[in-house]
């Protein structure tokens, strides 16, 4: 696959240095097509490659239990930066940095940024190395540019599917955000977390577009969902079993708060949160998701019962207002 650096030589060196014999390769959906080629590289380095065919949603979703069951002594995780502090199985992160140039698409963004003076920059780990060039282009165009470095992510300006601390740290000081990267997913997270105008500069599709109307639509849907759930009597509290998503203490707090409000709440341990899993419990009126918050927000219509984020449940229970939820952020667990 052109456009990404898979650090093939580093892979060979890590296998040799660690003396790895069985290596589990974990790739997100957009990179899985490289699995066979990368497996050959691992095999050529003297180790047995095993490709994880399961979905991979991010660095919080390490395939450690699979590696342990298979007897793998090394995981090579592609496409994300390190998130989990302590991995049960040694893990090498190959961030798959993009090699595509972004200059042209940033130049295209200038007319759309015309009415904004102070611009916040953000991207995924694939493009963090390009933010310096992007900043230079915007400064030459007369913009004041800020890149957040809140310390929770690996790099300044980096966002992930559930962590927007870098953009939130500068939201009050900017007029709009420019996201460098492909697709709507992360840009929507920025808009929902900051309530600021957000543009996508997509170097793959070579186009620039605003995401604000889509974000506004999602907020209206979430508000309607919260209002609906205020009538619920029985809650299911979802405890994620993925390594970076398990928040058992948070789930216990939700269960206790529900009890204090005169509601029933039951804990459900789950690895993959899907409509098929949740429909097996028809007595439950609504769920509170303590695992990945994006599950509640990105495709709510596919679930037969409402699935709230932790903060949305706090609104339902009267602990915070909807306005304060928006200030705190839909993604903050």
What's residue 153's pLDDT? Answer: 87
Whole-number mean pLDDT of the chain? 92
Mean pLDDT of 118-134: 96
What's residue 146's pLDDT? Answer: 98
What are the residue ranges spanned by the domains of the chain? 4-96, 103-210, 216-328
Mean pLDDT of 237-241: 93
pTM, to two decimals: 0.89
Q: Is the pLDDT of residue 141 over 60?
A: yes
CATH (residue range 216-328): 3.40.50.11860
Q: Is the pLDDT of residue 178 over 90?
A: yes
Contacts of 96 (CB under 8 A, 6+ apart): 4, 5, 6, 31, 78, 79, 126
CATH T-level topology, domain 103-210: Rossmann fold (3.40.50)
Mean pLDDT of 320-325: 88
Round to the nearest angstrom and report the end-to-end CA distance of the chain.
35
Residue appearing with tokens 């040694």: 90
Residue 200, φ and ψ in degrees, nearest 5? -105, 125
What's residue 300's pLDDT? Answer: 65
* 38-86 pLDDT tens trace: 999 999 999 999 999 998 888 888 999 999 999 999 999 999 999 888 8
Name, of 137-146, 162-171, 307-316, the range with top average pLDDT: 137-146
* 9-36 pLDDT tens trace: 999 999 999 999 999 999 998 899 999 9
Thinking of the domain 4-96, which architecture would CATH place it in? 3-Layer(aba) Sandwich (3.40)
Q: Output the six-digit token pair for 124.
A: 């995924």
Q: Is the pLDDT of residue 296 over 80?
A: no
Nearest to 232 by CA among 296, 145, 316: 316
Mean pLDDT of 122-137: 96
Q: Is the pLDDT of residue 298 over 80?
A: no
């Amino acid at each position: 696959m052109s456009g990404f650096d898979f650090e093939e030589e580093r892979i060979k060196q890590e296998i040799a240095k660690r003396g790895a014999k069985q290596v589990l390769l974990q790739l997100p959906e957009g990179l899985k097509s490289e699995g066979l080629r990368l497996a050959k590289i691992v095999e050529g380095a003297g180790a047995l490659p095993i490709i994880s065919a399961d979905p991979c949603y991010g660095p919080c979703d390490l395939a450690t239990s699979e590696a342990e069951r298979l007897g793998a002594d090394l995981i090579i995780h592609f496409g994300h930066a390190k998130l989990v502090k302590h991995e049960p199985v040694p893990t090498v992160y190959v961030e798959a940095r993009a090699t595509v140039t972004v200059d042209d698409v940033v130049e295209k963004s200038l007319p759309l940024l015309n009415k904004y003076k102070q611009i916040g920059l953000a991207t995924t780990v694939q493009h963090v190395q390009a933010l310096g060039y992007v900043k230079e282009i915007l400064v030459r165009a007369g913009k004041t540019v800020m890149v957040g470095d809140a310390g929770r992510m690996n790099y300044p300006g980096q966002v992930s599917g559930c962590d927007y601390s870098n953009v939130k740290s500068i939201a009050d000081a900017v007029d709009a955000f420019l996201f460098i990267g492909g697709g709507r997913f992360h840009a929507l997270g920025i808009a929902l977390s900051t309530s600021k105008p957000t543009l996508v500069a997509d170097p793959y599709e070579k186009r620039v577009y605003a995401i604000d109307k889509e974000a506004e639509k999602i907020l209206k849907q979430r508000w309607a969902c919260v209002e609906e759930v205020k009538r619920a009597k029985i809650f299911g509290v979802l405890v994620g079993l993925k390594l970076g998503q398990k928040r058992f203490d948070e789930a216990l707090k939700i269960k206790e708060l529900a009890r204090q409000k005169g509601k029933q709440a039951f804990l459900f341990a789950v690895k993959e949160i899907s409509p098929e899993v949740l429909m097996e419990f028809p007595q439950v009126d609504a769920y509170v998701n303590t695992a990945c918050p994006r599950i509640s927000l990105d495709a709510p219509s596919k679930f037969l019962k409402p699935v709230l984020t932790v903060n949305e449940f706090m609104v339902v229970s009267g602990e915070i207002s909807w306005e304060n939820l928006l200030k705190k952020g839909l993604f903050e667990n």
